[in-house]
C-alpha cells in the first residue's frame, strides 16, 4: 500500500470535515453570501444582455437585481390575491374542522369510554400548560421573520455586489494561482458559472411548467384556490424530494378541511402522480437534463448533509454547490478520484442509454 497516497487521501477527507464544520458554525454569515453568489450567477445572462445593448455595468447590475425583485413581487402578489380568497372561506373551513373534531370526540367516547366533558377538561389542561410555549413560539416566529427580512436584504446587496464586481473577484482568484495555471483556472470558473446558470435556469422554467400543470389538475379536481396550491407546490420544488410531497400533503389537508369530499382528494392524488410522471420522464430530461452530471446517490446524500448543516437553505443550495465542486474536482488532479465517485457511471460506447435497459441489464 502506498502510504503517501493514503496520507494524501486522509488529508483531503480531513479538509472536507473541516470545511463542513466551518459551514455549520458560520451559517449565519455564509447562507446569505452563498445565496447572493448563486443568484448573481443566475442573473449574469440578464446583465450581459443589458450590457450588449450599450448599458453600463452599474446600471445593468441594478436592473438585473430589479428584474429579480419584480419577479418575486409578482409571485407574492399572486399568492396574496389567492390568500385573500382563501381567507373568505375560513368560516367554512372552521365549521368543517369543528365537525371533524366533533366526530373524533364521538369516536373516542364510543371506543375508549371518555366522555365529552372529560375530553374537554383534558384539552383545557393541555392548552393551559401550553400557553407559555405558545407565547414563546410566537416570539420566536417574530424574531425569525425579522431575521428573514434582514437576510433577504443582505442577499439582494450581495447579489448586486457579486454582479457589479465580478471581474474584480475573478482577477483576485486568478492571482492566487501561478501564471501557468491561470488559463485552466479561468476555464474552471467559466464552466462552473455556466453549469450553475443552466441548472438554475432550467429549474426555474420547470417550476413555471409545474405551476401550470398543478393549476390545471387541481382546478379539474375541484380544489378551491387551486392556483395558490399550484404555486405553493411549484415553489416547494426548490426543496428536492421532500418539497413536492409536502406541497401535495398540504393541498390534500386543505381540500379535506374545505369540503371533505374524497373525490377531490383522489383528484389531487391523481394530479400529483401524473405531474410526477411528466416531470420525471419528460420535463427533467428536456428542461433540466443531466446538467450537473452527478450520481443520484450523492444528490440525495448532499441534500441530507445540506439540511443537517444549513437546514432548508442547505437543501436548496446543496445540489448546485455540489455541481460546482464536481467541476473543480474534474480539473484538479488530486481530486480526480472524487470526481469519478460523485459523477454518474459512464456508459460504454454504443451501449443503449435507456433507463429501463440500464435498470435490467446484468450487473458487474
Instruction: List all residues 6 or more positions away from 49 whose beta carbon is below 8 Å from its beta carbon.
Output: none
The whole-number pLDDT of residue 158 equals 93
**Quick one: the chain helix, strand, coil %, rounded to 5?**
85, 0, 15
288 pLDDT above the threshold of 60? yes
Query: Is residue 157 a part of any domain in this protein?
Result: yes
Q: What is the average pLDDT score of the chain?
A: 78
d(CA 197, CA 184): 20
The whole-number pLDDT of residue 354 equals 43
Instruction: List all residues 6 or more positions away from 8 whose beta carbon is below 8 Å from its beta carbon.
Output: 334
- Across the range 55-68, mean pLDDT stands at 92
Domain housing 108 = 22-164
Sign, Cα dihedral of 118, 119, 124, 125: positive
- Across the range 103-111, mean pLDDT stands at 73
- Across the range 327-351, mean pLDDT stands at 74
The residue whose grid cell reads 401535495 is: 248
Sign, Cα dihedral of 44, 48, 51, 53: negative
Closest CA to 186 of 293, 194, 64: 194
Query: Is residue 301 a part of any domain in this protein?
Result: no
- Specify whether the CB–CB gap between 293 and 277 falls below 8 A: no
- Specify whether the CB–CB gap between 320 and 292 falls below 8 A: yes
Total of domains in the chain: 1
- Across the range 119-129, mean pLDDT stands at 61
- Across the range 85-105, mean pLDDT stands at 66
9 pLDDT above the threshold of 80? no
Closest CA to 317 of 331, 338, 300, 303: 303
Query: Is residue 224 a part of any domain in this protein?
Result: no
d(CA 220, CA 216): 6
- Specify whether the CB–CB gap between 298 and 163 falls below 8 A: no
The whole-number pLDDT of residue 103 equals 73
Reported as a single tens digit per residue, the pLDDT across 17-49 is: 888 888 889 888 899 999 999 899 889 989 999
347, 349, 351, 355 alpha-carbon torsion, rounded to 10° = 30
120 pLDDT above the threshold of 60? yes
Query: Is residue 33 a part of any domain in this protein?
Result: yes
Query: Is residue 260 a part of any domain in this protein?
Result: no
Of 281 and 140, more confident: 281
The whole-number pLDDT of residue 137 equals 43
Name the burial class of residue 96, with classes exposed (0-12), middle (13-18) and buried (19+) by CB atoms within 10 angstroms of its CB.
middle
Closest CA to 268 of 242, 297, 290, 245: 245
Longest dimension (CA), the chain: 83
Query: Is residue 295 a part of any domain in this protein?
Result: no
pLDDT confidence bin for 291, thresholds 50/70/90 = low
d(CA 260, CA 225): 15
Query: Is residue 114 a part of any domain in this protein?
Result: yes
d(CA 69, CA 48): 18
260 pLDDT above the threshold of 90? no
Query: Whole-structure pTM over 0.75, yes or no?
Result: no
Of 100 and 269, more confident: 269
The whole-number pLDDT of residue 164 equals 93
Element (H, E) at 358: helix 355-360
Query: Is residue 149 a part of any domain in this protein?
Result: yes
Residue 313's SS3 state is helix
Q: How far is CA 2 from the centre of its chain?
A: 42
Amino acid at each position: 500500500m502506498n502510504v503517501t497516497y493514503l496520507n494524501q487521501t486522509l488529508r483531503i477527507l480531513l479538509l472536507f470535515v473541516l470545511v463542513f464544520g466551518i459551514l455549520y458554525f458560520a451559517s449565519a454569515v455564509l447562507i446569505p453570501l452563498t445565496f447572493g453568489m448563486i443568484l448573481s450567477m443566475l442573473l449574469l445572462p440578464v446583465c450581459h444582455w443589458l450590457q450588449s445593448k450599450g448599458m453600463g455595468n452599474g446600471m445593468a447590475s441594478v436592473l438585473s437585481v430589479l428584474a429579480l425583485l419584480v419577479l418575486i413581487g409578482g409571485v407574492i402578489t399572486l399568492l396574496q390575491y389567492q390568500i385573500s380568497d382563501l381567507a373568505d372561506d375560513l368560516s367554512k373551513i372552521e365549521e368543517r374542522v369543528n365537525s371533524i373534531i366533533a366526530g373524533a370526540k364521538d369516536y373516542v367516547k364510543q371506543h375508549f369510554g371518555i366522555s365529552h366533558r372529560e375530553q374537554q377538561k383534558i384539552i383545557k389542561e393541555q392548552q393551559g400548560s401550553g400557553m407559555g410555549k405558545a407565547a414563546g413560539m410566537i416570539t420566536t416566529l417574530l424574531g425569525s421573520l425579522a431575521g428573514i427580512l434582514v437576510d433577504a436584504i443582505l442577499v439582494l446587496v450581495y447579489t448586486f455586489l457579486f454582479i457589479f464586481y465580478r471581474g474584480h473577484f475573478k482577477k483576485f482568484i486568478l492571482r492566487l494561482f501561478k501564471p501557468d495555471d491561470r488559463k485552466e483556472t479561468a476555464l474552471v470558473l467559466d464552466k462552473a458559472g455556466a453549469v450553475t446558470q443552466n441548472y438554475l435556469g432550467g429549474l426555474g422554467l420547470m417550476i413555471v411548467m409545474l405551476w401550470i400543470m398543478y393549476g390545471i389538475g387541481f382546478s379539474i379536481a375541484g380544489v378551491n384556490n387551486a392556483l395558490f396550491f399550484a404555486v405553493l407546490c411549484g415553489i416547494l420544488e426548490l426543496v428536492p424530494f421532500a418539497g413536492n410531497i409536502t406541497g401535495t400533503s398540504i393541498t390534500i389537508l386543505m381540500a379535506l378541511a374545505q369540503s371533505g369530499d374524497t373525490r377531490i382528494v383522489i383528484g389531487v392524488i391523481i394530479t400529483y402522480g401524473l405531474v410526477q410522471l411528466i416531470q420525471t420522464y419528460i420535463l427533467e430530461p428536456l428542461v433540466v437534463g443531466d446538467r450537473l452530471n452527478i450520481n443520484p446517490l450523492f444528490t440525495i446524500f448532499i441534500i441530507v448533509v445540506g439540511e443537517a448543516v444549513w437546514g432548508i437553505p442547505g437543501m436548496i443550495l446543496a445540489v448546485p454547490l455540489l455541481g460546482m465542486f464536481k467541476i473543480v474536482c474534474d480539473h484538479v488532479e488530486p481530486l480526480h478520484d472524487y470526481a469519478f465517485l460523485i459523477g454518474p457511471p459512464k456508459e460504454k460506447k454504443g451501449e443503449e442509454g435507456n433507463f429501463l435497459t440500464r435498470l435490467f441489464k446484468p450487473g458487474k
